[in-house]
Chains A and B, each alone.
Chain A
Amino acid sequence: GNSVTQMEGPVTLSEEAFLTINCTYTATGYPSLFWYVQYPGEGLQLLLKATKADDKGSNKGFEATYRKETTSFHLEKGSVQVSDSAVYFCALPNATGGGNKLTFGTGTQLKVEL
């Protein structure tokens, strides 16, 4: 089945630093790819998505490009803020069950300090 691997955290950055959280995937075909963010005590929010190869998803200053050559979907932000502190999950549809389920990475905790 489809799977994702993302870098382990925690990642600790100073405010205004550049952020990269790596995500690589293994999949049948070219499924949509997603990044979710979870703030403390809350559910997951869809941060951005890319629905086909070479697409770039973007939202709130975050970007990720669907790169089929390297099977990657790395999350980037040029200048992080303290409010970006959260756990970030890379995800893709699971090939079993008709693509209805999502397979999540283990999550990467980001801590942004002043």
Chain B
Amino acid sequence: GAVVSQHPSWVICKSGTSVKIECRSLDFQATTMFWYRQFPKQSLMLMATSNEGSKATYEQGVEKDKFLINHASLTLSTLTVTSAHPEDSSFYICSIRGQYNEQFFGPGTRLTVL
């Protein structure tokens, strides 16, 4: 399957600051990437679908001005959490779509907002 990396793997920031998370597809040109968040002991919640060269499609209830997504190339998508607050602390995971609609996931980024 495709290899997906994320950077950073973990980040701690102060409340009110912005944090950028990168998602890279290392061996596959991904026109579509997905961003999820996961709370402890819960399943994944899809936040948005990132489309190369166009605006992201956000799921209902996800603030697009809060979670900025940029898919500037076929191998890179970024998620910026703006003016982060403690309730934004979570595990953020990206993925790319494969041939059979499976998805290949990155290792995740643990965000802690103090």
Residues of A within 8 A of B (CB): 31-32, 34, 36, 41-46, 49, 51, 89, 93, 97, 99-102, 104-107, 109
Contacts and interface: CB of A to CB of B under 8 A. Distances in A.
A106 B101 CA distance: 19
B107 interface: yes
Interface of B: 1, 4, 6, 32, 34, 41-44, 46, 49, 93, 95, 97, 100-108, 110
Instruction: Give me the 7 closest cross-chain CB pairs, A-B, nearest first.
Output: A93-B101, A43-B105, A43-B108, A44-B105, A43-B107, A32-B100, A104-B43
A23 to B, nearest CB: 13
Contacts of A34: 102
15 contacts: A31-B101, A32-B101, A42-B108, A43-B105, A43-B106, A44-B44, A49-B102, A89-B43, A100-B32, A100-B101, A101-B34, A102-B46, A102-B101, A107-B42, A109-B41
A71 to B, nearest CB: 18
A32 B102 contact: yes
Contacts of A46: 1, 102-105
Given A44-B93, A46-B1, 5 more contacts: A31-B101, A41-B110, A43-B6, A93-B101, A101-B46
Contacts of B110: 41
Contacts of A105: 43
